[in-house]
Amino acid sequence: MARAARRYDLYLPLTDNDGRPIAEDVFKSVQRRLLTRFGGLTAQQRAFPLEGIWQGSTRLYLDLVIIMTVLDFRRQGSTRFIAQLKQALLREFEQLEILITEQPLRVH
């Protein structure tokens, strides 16, 4: 029987806005928080990043990013948790923006 779920994808940069690499322990900390909240996650290997390009108000940003994905089976979802996590990630990754997407799913 199919179950309703939400999928959250967190697009995390490998460097801060000054080009300095993000420390490994920062990524491990994110993984621990996601594992504690959702019970599992899928993470892209940092050796194979994606290229993210986005237009800011005054400049074009180019980032190498990885994606961490979690599935949420809570009936009410995790909107508040994700919003709080995003604010923490903005500080920890020293970013102006971090993309987090949410999609409704049916999981079989």
> What is the CATH number for 21?
3.30.70
The reply to whether 29 falls in a domain is: yes
- Gap between the Cα atoms of 4 and 8, Å rounded: 14
pLDDT band of 85, cuts 50, 70, 90? very high
The reply to whether 28 falls in a domain is: yes
pLDDT computed for residue 76 by the predictor: 86
The reply to whether 108 falls in a domain is: no
pLDDT computed for residue 42 by the predictor: 97
The reply to whether 9 falls in a domain is: no
Residue 105 has pLDDT above 90, yes or no: yes
The reply to whether 5 falls in a domain is: no
Closest CA to 18 of 67, 63, 66, 85: 63
Total length of the chain: 108
What mean pLDDT, rounded, does the chain reach?
Answer: 94
pLDDT band of 81, cuts 50, 70, 90? very high
The reply to whether 59 falls in a domain is: yes
HSE-CB of 55 using CA atoms within 13 angstroms: 1
CB 68 within 8 Å of CB 30:
yes
Q: How many domains does the chain have?
A: 1
The reply to whether 58 falls in a domain is: yes
Give residue 42's domain range: 14-100
pLDDT digit string (tens) for 27-76? Answer: 999 999 999 999 999 999 999 999 999 898 898 888 999 999 999 999 88
The reply to whether 69 falls in a domain is: yes
pLDDT computed for residue 61 by the predictor: 85
